[in-house]
Chain A
Amino acid sequence: MTHPEDLLADYVDGALDERQRAVVDAHLEGCASCSEEITLARQAVAALASLEDEPVPFGVTGPVLAEAGRRFERRRVVVWERLQWAAGAAAAAALVLVVALNLGGGAEPEQDVAREEATAVEAEAGAVAPGADGESSPTFVFQGLEQQQGVDYDDAGIVALAQDVVPIVTGQTAQAEDQGTFAPADEALSCIEQSGAPTVGDPRDTLLRLIEAEYVGTPAYIAVYAEGPGAGQPADRVVVWAVAAEDCRILTTASLRI
């Protein structure tokens, strides 16, 4: 017996024309299995009708709107810069933040990629800031993943992380040479980028610190960036992103104007 499989869903939906419905009706008269399936399918449709939409919990799209605002601000700054350049304004003195990734030993392919990206950051910063040679520029060396076992950051702790690096970004103090031991950062970097945070290749953002700790009890990667408007202009804020280590969702972000 040939079963009219392709018609059964529409039969249950009442979406068949008269001729097709007659074909199925005739088949059902002599086919117990299809009759049973139609009964089951109707029960399922009725059961699904009992499911109502649930309200969206508070704050679900908050991080998305925050990210949208951040992108919007960036775009606005870029547009303003272009207007300034078009008007022949003199280029602002550039503060070159040189990033040299030191991801630890080994030459695994992923680390090579990260190195190339870091080199691209450095090259681009240099390209847009001719004449910066010889000026006193703060140098920051990103050394890898800082594993802070048992440390649980709250919002105040996140802000403190941002405040800590301000003197280094502004060149007031030099980066401490001995900052402890570091682990390879590939997985954490990938997670941070997946979350929607600035990418390593973005010339406007310089990754300063990457920390593995907890944020309010959730295992997290915390990235601290110096962020500038681009075009070789100096960083004007420090931004911190905390993302869940398990699934890379955004836990919180903080932004501190310098």
Chain B
Amino acid sequence: MPDPGARDEDLIRRYLSGDRAAFAALVERHERRVYNIALRMTGREEDARDATQDAFLTVLRKLSSFRGEAAFTTWLHRVAVNACYDLLRKRQRSPLLERGGDDDRPAAEPPPVPDHADPTALSIDVRRALLQVPEDFRAVMILHDLRDLPQEEVAAILGIPVGTVKSRLHRGRIALARALDVPRQGERRGPATPSEGTMTP
């Protein structure tokens, strides 16, 4: 059995040298991370499962050409986010929260009225609201605010400048808050459709 404390790069080397269990250990170590990124990006368990599978199959196919120029986790996050983008493109519709009866629901349905006294309801509100944030902004928020990755690593994962990460992060947060429609001092929030690089004067 592979050492639970083994570095990712060591597990990769061992798999490529013929240690079959090393790849399973690599998958087990990272599947929760990849699945939850996919779940927040796509909003549906079914899509998250597919994106997770796609991501790890890509890793498997390309593992022998992984040169270690970037950390494995950076590469894995990139593969995972790309799998989500591919899946969302394939779906060509706004992601929904759950499968089943929800599948036929119009994509542009307004967010439900939040019940902020109930923590579970708030969590569902946030999940729904997150799906109204544009994908590029959502990806930055998921990686930074949910996965706690530094802005520099988010930039490396997404292949964008750090300044763009900062901008998307701020715009995305505002879009999320507006989608949540948090009542503040009697004000009503507008739609969650920010445009990158613009500021309200």
Beyond A8-B170, A41-B177, A61-B53, 10 additional contacts (C-beta under 8 Å) are A3-B199, A6-B167, A47-B177, A48-B130, A50-B126, A52-B123, A56-B52, A72-B18, A196-B60, A249-B50
Q: In the complex, how many residues of chain B place their beta carbon closer than 8 angstroms to a beta carbon of chain A?
A: 53
Q: Which of B128-178 contact A (CB under 8 A)?
A: 129-130, 141, 145-146, 151, 163, 166-167, 169-170, 172-174, 176-178
Q: Return chain A residues, CB-CB under 8 Å to B176.
A: 44, 47-48
Q: Which of B18-59 contact A (CB under 8 A)?
A: 18, 20, 23-24, 27-28, 31-32, 35-36, 39-40, 45, 49-50, 52-54, 56-57
Q: Which of A30-88 contact B (CB under 8 A)?
A: 33-34, 37, 39-41, 43-45, 47-48, 50-57, 60-61, 63-65, 67-69, 71-72, 75-76
Given contacts A50-B123, A196-B61, contact A44 B180 (CB under 8 A): yes
With a 10 A CB-CB cut-off, give which of A6, A12, A40, A250 has the most chain B CB atoms: A40
Query: Contact residues of B with A, CB < 8 Å?
Result: 18, 20, 23-24, 27-28, 31-32, 35-36, 39-40, 45, 49-50, 52-54, 56-57, 60-61, 87, 90, 119, 122-123, 125-127, 129-130, 141, 145-146, 151, 163, 166-167, 169-170, 172-174, 176-178, 180, 182, 184, 199-201
Given contacts A51-B126, A56-B31, A196-B61, contact A1 B177 (CB under 8 A): no
With a 10 A CB-CB cut-off, give which of B130, B173, B200 has the most chain A CB atoms: B173
Does the CB pair B52–A54 fall under 8 Å?
no
Given contacts A6-B163, A51-B146, contact A41 B173 (CB under 8 A): yes
Query: Contact residues of A with B, CB < 8 Å?
Result: 1, 3, 5-6, 8-10, 12, 33-34, 37, 39-41, 43-45, 47-48, 50-57, 60-61, 63-65, 67-69, 71-72, 75-76, 196, 247, 249-250
Nearest CB in chain B: distance from A254 CB, A: 18
Set B60, B87, B119, B166: member contacting A6, Cβ < 8 A? B166
Subset of 14 A-B contacts with CB under 8 Å: A6-B166, A9-B169, A33-B201, A39-B184, A44-B176, A47-B129, A47-B177, A50-B122, A57-B49, A64-B27, A64-B57, A64-B60, A65-B24, A72-B23
Set B39, B145, B184: member contacting A45, Cβ < 8 A? B145
Set B28, B50, B180, B184: member contacting A247, Cβ < 8 A? B50
Set A9, A52, A56, A60: member contacting B170, Cβ < 8 A? A9
Q: In the complex the two chains form, what is the Cα distance from A61 to B53 in whole Å?
A: 6
Does the CB pair A64–B53 fall under 8 Å?
yes
Does the CB pair B50–A44 fall under 8 Å?
no
Q: Return chain A residues, CB-CB under 8 Å to B32.
A: 53, 55-56
Does the CB pair B87–A247 fall under 8 Å?
yes
Q: In the complex the two chains form, what is the Cα distance from A250 to B167 in whole Å?
A: 38
Q: Return chain B residues, CB-CB under 8 Å to A75.
A: 18
Does the CB pair A61–B145 fall under 8 Å?
no
Does the CB pair B49–A60 fall under 8 Å?
yes
Nearest CB in chain A: distance from B123 CB, A: 5
Does the CB pair A61–B50 fall under 8 Å?
no
Q: In the complex the two chains form, what is the Cα distance from A222 to B45 in whole Å?
A: 25
Does the CB pair B123–A48 fall under 8 Å?
no
Q: Return chain A residues, CB-CB under 8 Å to B170.
A: 5, 8-9, 12, 37, 41
With a 10 A CB-CB cut-off, give which of A8, A10, A33 has the most chain B CB atoms: A8
Q: Return chain A residues, CB-CB under 8 Å to B23.
A: 65, 68, 72
Does the CB pair B52–A51 fall under 8 Å?
no
Given contacts A50-B123, A56-B32, contact A40 B178 (CB under 8 A): yes
Nearest CB in chain B: distance from A79 CB, A: 8
Q: What is the chain B residue whose CB lies nearest that of A53?
A: B36
Q: In the complex the two chains form, what is the Cα distance from A71 to B125 in whole Å?
A: 43
Q: In the complex the two chains form, what is the Cα distance from A34 to B180 in whole Å?
A: 19
Nearest CB in chain A: distance from B47 CB, A: 9
Q: Return chain B residues, CB-CB under 8 Å to A56.
A: 31-32, 35, 52
Given contacts A47-B129, A56-B35, A61-B27, contact A247 B173 (CB under 8 A): no
